[in-house]
Each structure stands twice: as structure tokens, then as C-alpha cells.
């Protein structure tokens, strides 16, 4: 299996609290992998480790063949990353952000960026300071997909969208992500999101990967059939929040 | 840095440098403190200061020259002034919408604005 992410024995503590414990997994170089887990499962910490934004206590990480702690610049060039809180400068609008990112991504594609913005129904001239969180999420998503990166890495990108808007944005994501030609890793707590977009699912619970499976194989193996959502739900440790 | 403000410390450093550029305290060609020096001055960790410098470079206002340090680019002050203008216009629009929502008469707001317009021609430097 060709992989865009390899994680081996990743352990991360905050003080005495173990947030990630001996986490190992790989993400294939194409398709959408969903990192599913409830609040506090360690999703955001894991994503930050993948981007080299958070140190680790043990383990080895490779993203696009690079060690994010040593080759931060190389990783940033190859990954379209959207953090859980949009971190664009409040005075920037979408146009300013795109100009800013053009300097970061060798393969930045302006035409694609503006087309995505239009498809997502995101504002062009509003600054981040004046955007709703949902609007900011759409602009960030367009920016993540625009450079056709090897990896699109999204941390709860759809959580801030009202349900009808979310459905539209998910539709655009499902259509556009494969056009980019890379892989996507999407962290979410939301079973509906996972069922809609996942080719593979990693379930993170209590700082450990407890499930790592191909969605089609999972549904096929389930006695009595049923929907993708039902099959995922059976694996999900936080059924009450789903 | 002021931890009570909700902007990320990195963004506060960037804003402070842009302010200094648009206010004329930092001119084209001026040398900025080292990343280590900036981190110490702003009481943030090294990574935060490094990220702020990276963003400033990406914005086109500074350039790192190997071994010599970080310098304001020729176009830096102009870029900073443009950003500052966009930022203040945005704050003004937000305030105006709030005033309208609160029930202020648009005609009264327009008169206020007219008065300010006269002011700014005389007292431009005071802003």
C-alpha cells in the first residue's frame, strides 16, 4: 500500500495526561480517510502532530515522505490543512488569503480557488473578522483544495455549518477532492459526515486507534447488510453523541 | 503580548510589525530583531515568533537574508499601509452596521460622517 501518512507508536502527553497512546496507522495515497472520534478523543492533537505544530513524546511520523518536525516547510507545501479554528488573519478576505497562500504552494491554482469559492457559495470580499464561522470554514476549504495538494488535512471542517449548507459543502467536497488527485484525512465526531465521505475509517477513542477499516469491506461483512452509517455506528464508542 | 486579547500571539506579532511599518517607525531596509530576540521581547516561544516571521515573509513585507538577518522589503511599508486600510475600513463597516441595527437614523450617521470627512482633511496625521 502506498501511503501518504505513516504513524508509528505515537505517544503524546500533556503533563501527566496521556492524550495519544502508542498510536500507529497508515493513510493510503488516495481516497478519503475519516478520523472518527468524540470530543477529547485526541483528534486535534493528532492532526497537529501530523503538521509538526505539536511535539510528541515518542514515535515516528511521516507525512508525504517527510518528517513534519524537521521538514515543516516541505510538509506545508504538500498539505492543504484546515485547523479546527480558522487561523487566517482577521483583516484578510478570500482574495488576500489566496494571494498569501500562492507564496506557500508551488502548485497553487488561482482559477481553481475562485471556482471552488463560487461553488461553495463563500464570500469573496468579506474579511475573516466579519465572516461567520461557517463562511470562514468554506473559504478555508476552498483554499485547502485549490493547490491540488498530495494530502488534504481537515480538522472538523463541516462542524460549523448549518445542516442544509453542510450537505451542499459535503457534496462539493466529495466531487472536488478526487479531482485534486491526492488523499484526504478528515477528522470529525460526526457519523453522518463520515458515512457520506469515507472510503476508510480510523476510530480514535481514549487516545488509541481502536478501529482501522475499509468502509466497503465493513459494510459487506456486516450480517444483514444495512447502511454505511449503521455499519459505522456499530463501531463507534460514543454512540450517545451520534 | 497581551494574552487577554483573543488573537493568536503570532497574529499579534504580525499586527505589531504591520503597525510599525504603516506608522513609519520601520522603514524599507530596516533590520528586524532575530527570531530569538523577537521571542524574548514578545514573551512567546521560539516557534510562535518563527511562524510570525514566516507569515510576514509570505505577506511580502520582510525578507530573510541568509546569515544577515531579517529586513523590511522595499515594498513592505506600502503593503502594510494597504492592509491597515482594509482592516480599518472593515472595522468601520462593522460599527456602521451595528449602529444601524441599534436603530440610529441613517441620516444622522451620514451627517456624522460628513463632519468627520471635514476633520480628516485638516487633521490627517492625528489618526
pLDDT in tens, A71-85: 998 999 999 999 988
Contact: B90, A103; criterion CB under 8 Å:
no
A121 pLDDT more than 90: yes
pLDDT tens for each residue of A101-113: 998 999 999 999 9
- pLDDT-based confidence at residue A225 (cuts at 50, 70, 90): low
Residues contacting A146, CB < 8 A, separation 6+: A80, A98, A101, A105, A108, A109, A110, A112, A113, A116
| Domain B9-77: assigned CATH number | 1.10.10.10
B30 pLDDT more than 90: yes
- Residues present in chain B in total: 127
Q: Which residues of A touch B7 (CB under 8 A)?
A: 90
Residues A59 and A7: their CA atoms lie apart, in Å, by 7
Residues contacting A138, CB < 8 A, separation 6+: A117, A120, A121, A122, A161, A169
Residues A156 and A154: their CA atoms lie apart, in Å, by 6
Where along chain B do its domains lie? 9-77, 85-126
Per-residue model confidence (pLDDT) at position B125: 45
- B35-62 average pLDDT score: 92
Per-residue b or e along A146-166, where b marks 16 or more CB atoms closer than 10 Å to that residue's CB: bbbbbbbbbbbbbbbbeeebb
> Which of B17, B59, B73, B95 to probe the A interface (max A CBs under 10 A)?
B59
Residues A202 and A185: their CA atoms lie apart, in Å, by 10
Which cell numbers in the block locate residue B117? 470627512
Inter-axis angle of helices A133-145 and A110-120, nearest 10? 150
Which candidate from A100, A103, A127 shows the least CB-CB separation from B90? A127
Mean pLDDT estimate for chain A: 90
Q: Which residues of A touch B14 (CB under 8 A)?
A: 89
Sequence-ordered alpha helix ranges (H) in chain A: 43-50, 72-78, 94-102, 110-120, 133-145, 163-176, 191-197, 215-221, 228-233
Residues B124 and A157: their CA atoms lie apart, in Å, by 43
Where along chain A do its domains lie? 3-84+151-241
% chain A with pLDDT above 90: 62
A170 pLDDT more than 90: yes
Per-residue model confidence (pLDDT) at position A236: 75
Residues B86 and B80: their CA atoms lie apart, in Å, by 10
Q: Which residues of A touch B93 (CB under 8 A)?
A: 130
Contact: B91, A104; criterion CB under 8 Å:
no
- A18-32 average pLDDT score: 95
Residues B56 and A106: their CA atoms lie apart, in Å, by 18
Mean pLDDT estimate for chain B: 84
Per-residue model confidence (pLDDT) at position B2: 45
In which element (H, E) is residue A12 found? strand A3-14
Per-residue model confidence (pLDDT) at position B89: 77
- A202-228 average pLDDT score: 84
B99 pLDDT more than 80: yes
Chain A / chain B CB contacts < 8 angstroms: 33
Searching chain B, which residue's CA lies closest to the CA of residue A54? B47
Per-residue model confidence (pLDDT) at position B118: 57
- pLDDT-based confidence at residue B4 (cuts at 50, 70, 90): very low
CB–CB of A207/A19 below 8 Å?
yes
In which element (H, E) is residue B56 found? helix B46-58
pLDDT tens for each residue of A211-223: 999 988 887 777 6
Q: Which CATH class is domain A3-84+151-241?
A: alpha beta
- pLDDT-based confidence at residue B117 (cuts at 50, 70, 90): low
Give me the residue label for grid cell 496625521.
B125
Give me the residue label for grid cell 467536497.
A173
pTM of this structure: 0.83
Q: Which residues of B touch A93 (CB under 8 A)?
A: 86
Question: Which A-chain residues 117-176 have CB contacts (< 8 A) with chain B?
Answer: 127, 129-130
- pLDDT-based confidence at residue A229 (cuts at 50, 70, 90): confident
The burial of A139, by beta-carbon neighbours within 10 Å (0-12 exposed, 13-18 middle, 19 or more buried), is given as buried
Residues A4 and A6: their CA atoms lie apart, in Å, by 7
A31 pLDDT more than 50: yes
Amino acid at each position: 500500500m502506498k501511503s501518504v501518512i505513516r504513524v508509528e507508536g505515537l505517544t503524546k502527553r500533556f503533563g501527566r495526561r496521556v492524550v495519544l497512546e502508542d498510536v500507529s496507522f497508515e493513510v493510503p495515497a488516495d481516497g478519503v480517510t475519516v478520523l472518527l472520534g468524540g470530543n477529547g478523543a485526541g483528534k486535534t492533537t493528532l492532526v497537529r502532530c501530523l503538521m509538526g505544530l505539536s511535539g510528541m513524546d515518542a514515535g515516528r511520523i511521516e507525512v508525504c515522505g517527510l518528517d513534519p518536525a524537521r521538514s515543516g516547510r516541505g510538509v506545508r507545501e504538500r498539505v492543504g490543512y484546515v485547523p479546527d479554528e480558522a487561523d487566517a488573519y482577521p483583516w484578510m478576505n478570500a482574495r488576500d488569503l489566496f494571494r498569501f497562500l500562492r507564496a506557500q504552494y508551488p502548485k497553487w491554482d488561482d482559477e481553481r480557488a475562485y471556482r471552488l469559492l463560487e461553488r461553495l457559495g463563500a464570500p469573496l470580499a468579506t474579511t475573516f473578522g466579519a465572516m461567520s464561522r461557517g463562511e470562514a470554514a468554506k473559504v478555508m476549504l476552498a483554499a485547502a483544495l485549490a493547490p491540488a495538494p498530495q494530502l488534504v488535512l481537515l480538522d472538523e471542517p463541516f462542524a460549523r455549518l448549518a445542516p442544509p449548507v453542510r450537505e451542499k459543502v459535503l457534496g462539493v467536497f466529495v466531487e472536488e477532492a478526487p479531482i485534486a488527485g491526492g488523499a484526504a484525512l478528515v477528522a470529525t465526531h460526526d457519523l453522518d459526515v463520515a458515512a457520506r465521505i469515507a472510503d476508510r475509517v480510523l476510530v480514535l477513542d481514549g487516545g488509541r486507534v481502536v478501529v482501522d477499516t475499509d468502509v466497503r469491506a465493513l459494510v459487506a461483512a456486516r450480517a444483514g447488510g444495512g447502511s454505511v452509517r449503521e455499519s459505522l455506528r456499530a463501531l463507534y464508542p460514543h454512540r450517545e453523541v451520534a | 503580548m497581551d494574552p487577554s486579547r483573543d488573537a493568536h500571539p503570532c497574529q499579534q506579532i504580525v499586527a505589531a510589525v504591520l503597525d510599525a511599518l504603516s506608522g513609519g517607525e520601520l522603514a524599507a531596509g530596516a533590520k528586524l530583531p532575530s527570531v530569538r530576540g523577537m521571542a524574548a521581547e514578545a514573551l512567546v516561544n521560539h516557534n510562535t515568533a518563527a511562524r510570525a516571521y514566516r507569515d510576514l515573509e509570505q505577506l511580502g513585507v520582510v525578507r530573510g537574508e541568509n546569515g544577515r538577518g531579517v529586513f523590511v522589503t522595499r515594498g513592505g511599508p506600502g503593503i502594510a499601509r494597504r492592509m491597515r486600510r482594509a482592516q480599518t475600513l472593515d472595522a468601520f463597516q462593522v460599527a456602521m452596521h451595528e449602529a444601524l441595527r441599534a436603530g440610529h437614523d441613517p441620516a444622522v450617521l451620514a451627517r456624522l460622517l460628513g463632519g468627520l470627512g471635514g476633520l480628516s482633511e485638516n487633521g490627517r496625521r492625528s489618526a
